Amino acid sequence: MQMTLKHITAGSAILASLLFFSCDFKQSGSTSTQTQSKQQLPTPVFNADSAYHYIDTQVAFGPRVPNTAEHAACAKYLAGELKRFGADVIVQEADVVAYDNTVLKAKNIIGQYNLDKKKRVMLCAHWDTRPFADYDKDPEKRNTPIDGANDGASGVGVLLEIARQIQKSQPNIGIDIIFFDAEDYGQPAHINLPEKQHTWALGSQYWGKNPHTPNYRAQYGILLDMVGAPDAYFYYEQHSMNYDPGLVRYVWDIAHELGYGYHFKKDNGGWITDDHVYVTEYRNFPCIDIIQYSPDAQHGFGDYWHTHDDTMDNINKGTLKAVGQTVLEVIYRED
């Protein structure tokens, strides 16, 4: 039979549709792979030994009090580590004024990942240490700066380990890690001074008003503060509950799901003025605080708090793991 033009056309149409079909089949295969990888990435395993090492290294510089050589050296180390872990780093320098009118040369250290992603989560911790030990049992030692192994270095150590994991396998979203300065220079409790507001969290107050990117916004933020003590309990911090109770419960649920219910108590804690308050108030997205709370203590924190007992002996790898693995799980579940 002789093929007419019509037949040829019909024949190619069949062939084309077959090709189209096979293409389509292949495509739907690759689409499902894509969907799968978007749905749930494997969560990296948080290494508590590594976080512990980053804490130990910070403490070895000596107290990281603004306007000291130890502080300057540690700032270099932290920015260098974030760079080594593949982040785009910005060191934001700011002159902030302390309760006693001392001008502090503050540095907020920022590491950005996946800058092309619009959806971002911000993770933060303060990196400075307190110039006083107001709550030390020895009055002679109250005017000297503390090691701040837990109060300062622990949150940063956990976030550096998270940065190291992000470099190995990227989450689906953008991540901004911010180490805030001058959080712990608040008006001391051991000398009688008239009540003064907003003397804490000076670095985050500055950043809130002058973010590293104009109009910076994240979907949400998580602040880590005092996340390394043995037997640390993290309660629902009340400002965080006020800003986004669903987010707080979601993070605590994940901690319980992973088996860290011992540390993450599903009960109300205190109202704690910390960096997350200024982040939320100035930037207008919710930032929650994972912070050790001790309901029976007079000041609400551990016995070591703002004393010379806040040393490396106060750091426990099990607590670091509970917090670090929970935060990793939260960010790798995002898409």
Strand blocks (E) in the chain:
88-97, 103-113, 120-126, 174-180, 220-225, 234-236, 264-268, 287-291
Min dist CB 72 to ligand AHN, Å, is 21
218, 285 in Cβ contact below 8 A? yes
Min dist CB 152 to ligand AHN, Å, is 7
Query: Among 128, 136, 151, 176, which residue sits at the site for ligand AHN (rule: CB under 6 A)?
Result: 151
Say which residue the tokens 């069949």 belong to.
Answer: 14
Min dist CB 301 to Zn ion, Å, is 8
Residues 142-161 binding Zn ion (CB under 5 A) are 151
Q: Choose the stretch contacting ligand AHN; rule: CB under 6 A; options: 3-11, 89-97, 115-123, 269-277.
A: 269-277
Report d(CA 310, CA 315) in Å as an integer.
9
Min dist CB 186 to ligand AHN, Å, is 6
122, 221 in Cβ contact below 8 A? yes
**Interstrand relation of 103-113 and 88-97 (parallel, antiparallel or unpaired):** antiparallel
329 binds, among ligand AHN, Zn ion, none (CB under 5 to 8 A by kind): none
Q: Choose the stretch contacting Zn ion; rule: CB under 5 A; options: 93-101, 124-132, 254-262, 278-286.
A: 124-132
What secondary structure does DSSP assign to 117-173, as a single string? Answer: -SSEEEEEEE----S--TT-SSGGGTTS----IIIIIIHHHHHHHHHHHHHHS--SS
> Residue 66 carries which side chain, given as an amino acid letter?
P
- Here's the x/- map for Zn ion, 174-193, by CB under 5 A: it reads as ----------x---------
200 binds, among Zn ion, ligand AHN, none (CB under 5 to 8 A by kind): ligand AHN
Q: Which is nearer to Zn ion, 64 or 130 (CB)?
A: 130
**By the criterion CB under 6 A, which residues form the site for ligand AHN?**
151, 184, 186, 200, 225, 272-274
